Amino acid sequence: MRPHPLVAACVAALMCAALTSCSREDDGRNAEPTAGAAVDPEPEETEETGTPSEESEEEPPFGTPVGWAGHPGQVEETEEPDEDEDDGEEVDDPEEHTAVTGGAGGETVTAKDADELAEHLRTDEPLTVEIEGDIDLDGRIRVGSDKTLLGVGEGAELTGGALVVEEAANVIIANVTMTVDETAVSIGEGAHHVWVDGSTFSGGDGDPLVSVTDDADHVTVSWNRFTDAEAAILIDGGDDEERERAPRVTVHHNFFDGTTARHPRALNAEHVHVFNNYFRDNPEYGVSSADGANVLVEGNYFERTPLSVATEKDDEPGNVATRDNLLVDSDQPELRGEVPDPPYAYELDDTVTIPDLVGSRAGAY
């Protein structure tokens, strides 16, 4: 089994990485590697809190995620070409993007309040931004490209606002707790290669806690806990005629603990892969596919979720394929259409183990 991907790699100020590694072994997270996380490399020493550490040529400690965010691929530009350009010129192929690495290769800084956080996240260079304790966001904070936002310790909590990833690429958000009155993490407007991992989300006031909309692409949402909310995750590619591309998203090893619906709800999505999640006491439904979305649901554990998967017959339906799910007091879905396998490598945990595995380890540390 694999450990929690990012949490096991982070160190607090003035603490060496070896101590952090030992503390994680105590709770079993550093047992055997499991699906959806990377194995920790050798720890690196860091400088004092608030002082940027020296750049390192070594791989980042959180490795590469499983799923669409960890899958290199071409992403079309969202802007239309200039019609006045010379028709004889060659048109560049879509840019090839590597798997998400966040702020790897850049400095590590600490944010103590919303102003410092916003300033660090909007810079142009790669950065790992660590937060510890409570921060009132006081509104929506934009996250720029090549950033890792990482909660340090057990008390990293963001309230009073949202994180917005738009027109940005290569972003990691991990080990934070967000209690909000709106969408906590909004990914859209051409954002791609974004990884939301190991965090706890609640609230939302009816809005989805995580949204992937418009032209967003190559997104992974993993090892998070969603609770006390009406809606967990929305994936919506928008109008067929207006969008440049449809979202491709992986949702794995999340704990949907009593949340009402949208785990996720997918509309106009090219490919959504939902695997090894734990659904418990979800009163409306687990997963939904609509408006021609393609959703593969496998290896999930549904417990007292009346409808495990819905294709929304009354609306424009979506396509759904299921396999190896375990349903406890949950109805078997009616399947529709065909959904291809994803192009990336992944390993399924045994569905029977999901309540213990995900129930105990998903969410902020």
Q: According to the model, what pLDDT value does residue 336 have?
A: 87
Instruction: Tell me which of 248, 262, 280, 361 is the catalytic residue.
Output: 262
Confidence of residue 59 (pLDDT cuts 50, 70, 90): very low
Q: What is the pLDDT of residue 316?
A: 84
Residue 226 falls within a domain, yes or no?
yes
- 194 within domain boundaries: yes
In the block, residue with structure tokens 């959806």: 36
Whether 1 is covered by a domain: the verdict is no
Report residue 16's pLDDT band, with 50, 70 and 90 as the boundaries.
very low
Q: 360 falls in which pLDDT band (50, 70, 90)?
A: very high
For residue 141, which phi and psi values (nearest 5 degrees)?
Answer: -115, 125
d(CA 304, CA 341): 28
- pLDDT per residue as tens digits for the range 180-190: 999 999 999 99
Q: Is residue 180 part of a domain?
A: yes
Query: 309 Cβ partners below 8 Å, 6+ apart?
Result: 285, 286, 287, 288, 289, 295, 297, 320, 322, 333
What is the C-alpha separation between 315 and 70, in angstroms, rounded? 33
Tokens 């979720």 belong to residue: 305
pLDDT value at residue 348: 96
Q: Which domain holds residue 301?
A: 54-75+98-361
CATH code at position 287: 2.160.20.10
The torsion region of residue 238 among left (phi > 0), alpha (psi -120 to 50) and beta comes to left
181 inside domain = yes
Q: Tell me the mean pLDDT in the region 226-233.
A: 97
Half-sphere exposure of 57 (CA within 13 A, CB side): 0
**Residue 92 belongs to a domain:** no
- Is 243 considered catalytic here? no
What rounded mean pLDDT belongs to the chain? 81
Q: What is the pLDDT of residues 288-334, one digit of tens each?
A: 999 999 999 999 999 999 999 988 766 688 999 999 999 999 988 87
Average pLDDT over residues 109-127: 96
Q: How many domains does the chain have?
A: 1
pLDDT tens track for 156-173: 899 999 999 999 999 999
DSSP H helices, the chain, are 17-26, 114-121, 354-361
State how far the Cα of 65 lies from the Cα of 150, in Å rounded to an integer.
15
Q: Quick check: is 13 in a domain? A: no
Per-residue burial over 220-250, b = 16 or more CB atoms within 10 Å of its CB, e = otherwise: bbbbbbbbebbbbbbbbbbeeeebbbbbbbb
User: pTM for this structure?
Assistant: 0.81
Classify residue 336: in a domain, yes or no: yes
On whether the CB atoms of residues 362 and 224 are closer than 8 A, the answer is yes
